[in-house]
Amino acid sequence: MSKNNKPDFFDKPKTRRMLWALLWAACGLSLVAQFFASPEPHFGFDGFLGFNALFGFACVVALVLAGRGLGFILKRDTNYYDD
């Protein structure tokens, strides 16, 4: 929320619904695209439907968890620069 109590672009409920719809549409398109792309499995376990979407999701979760861990390590006190 901005300081003038006017909702920002991402605070509007209509915008949030639109972004969720776009996210689900992108996830659905990635699954549908696998029917047409027919990627060649290299390791055997990567040949099932939705592997690429699931692998991408797992990588993003790993990145978020790594970022949180890094933030925990690098976090400073609020008065760090005042000392």
Q: What is the pTM of this model?
A: 0.56
Report yes or no on 62 lying in a domain: yes
Report yes or no on 36 lying in a domain: no
pLDDT at 16 exceeding the cut of 90: yes
Contact between 56 and 33 under an 8 Å Cβ cutoff? The reply is: no
Q: What is the pLDDT of residue 37?
A: 80
Provide the CA 43 distance to its chain's centre, in angstroms.
26
Provide the CA 12 distance to its chain's centre, in angstroms.
20
Tell me how many domains the chain contains.
1
Domain of residue 67, residue span: 50-74
| pLDDT band (50, 70, 90) for residue 27 | confident
Q: What is the pLDDT of residue 78?
A: 79
